[in-house]
Amino acid sequence: MTVETTPILLDIRRDVALLTAALMDINSVSGNESALADAVESALRAIPGLQLVRDGDAIIARTELGRPERVILAGHLDTVPLPTVEGSLGTVPSTWESGVPGTGILYGRGATDMKGGVAVQLALAATMFDGGAEPGKDVTFVFYDHEEVEAVKSGLGRLVRNHGHLLEGDFAILLEPTDGTVEGGCNGTSRFEATAVGEAAHSARAWMGSNAIHAAAPILSRLAAYEPRTVNVDGLDYRESLNAVKINGGTAGNVIPDRCVVEINYRFAPDKTPDQAEAHVRELLEGFDVVRTDAAAGARPGLNHPAAASFVAAVGAEPKPKYGWTDVARFSELGVPAVNFGPGDPLLAHKDNEHVDADAIRECLRALRSWLAD
């Protein structure tokens, strides 16, 4: 028996902070984006002047005005899982601290990462043709699924493979939270497994074996003593980090372990490739078996591009580096200079008290609307 669900209607002309709350109220944890994607698609199809393509739970909406410059505005629809701690504020549905919708602080999953940015995209699309006006640039809006999970599932990656020609442009803005300033480029990220081996034995006769967990101590010592670098790339200082993030070894409480694996995450500046980052980790952990299990290249800031420079000037704040990995790297691989710019404090992303100020969302919309009109 097929259960029919009532389509969710989004009023994308309402106040952008209220629109943010409406988006947050639709549960869209990674893998569960369909209802939100349906609502976004329906709202965009009602806007004359946009050409739409949907691929799974990802949507591309483009103007075709023949402008000499095309800007891409991109954002992901999914969130990390809901918190399990009782009394958490990072919930679905959202809540207003003031008790007055649209006023003050908005709490809930996706408040910063990144329903405020998606709301700004939708508000821009809804109003860009109002009163016979037209944007000074052609605009491509991109909404995609599965950003918060492993890269192989990425909706943006799928769009690149299936509709890469529709993602061509002169400049891209990813509306990830940046606290209202421009964050250029992003660090790369890679993961490794470093293995120490030993010989199993009964723990009552430990001298008959060799303890692999003990043998892994130098791995941890080298990582603990490691001093991460700060690397200047095109005028921005990127802080690196290299850390053990998980350790696994042993089979039973009375067995000397014969194998211990330390999982490592390296966040590296965009001056190096994933292969160069791997070489750096291998040099540090020489003598141990090291296997790279995942890697994603970073992206240089690209702030010297004319469109990027004009956008930074329009925002007015001093640009900063993006320490985490974002999908600006995918646009960089396509040859499209890209930056991060969106409402909300990135330090609050994924936290159980995730929140955003309503006025920060409105200010982000104002800045982008003004720049697009030029």
Tokens representing 56 are: 């799974």
DSSP string for 34-48: HHHHHHHHHHHHTST
Catalytic residue among 78, 179, 278, 327: 78
Tokens representing 79 are: 């969130």
Q: Which residue in the block uniquely carries the two structure tokens 């959202």?
A: 94
Spatial separation of the C-alpha atoms in residues 295 and 36, rounded to whole Å: 30
Most distant CA pair in the chain, distance:
85
Q: Which residue in the block uniquely carries the two structure tokens 């070894």?
A: 249
Tokens representing 340 are: 């991060």
Residues 6+ apart with CB under 8 A from 142: 58, 59, 60, 72, 73, 74, 75, 156, 159, 167
Residue 271 designated active-site: no
Closest CA to 195 of 290, 265, 293, 294: 290
Spatial separation of the C-alpha atoms in residues 73 and 96, rounded to whole Å: 27
Residue 147 designated active-site: yes
Q: Which residue in the block uniquely carries the two structure tokens 């929140």?
A: 355
Spatial separation of the C-alpha atoms in residues 326 and 76, rounded to whole Å: 11
Phi-psi bin for 301: left (phi > 0), alpha (psi -120 to 50), beta? alpha
Type of residue at 16: V
Catalytic residue among 138, 147, 278, 327: 147
Name the 3-class secondary structure at 208: helix
Name the 3-class secondary structure at 308: helix
Helices of type H across 3-139: 16-24, 34-45, 116-127
Spatial separation of the C-alpha atoms in residues 70 and 76, rounded to whole Å: 20
Instruction: List, by residue number, the catalytic residues.
Output: 78, 147
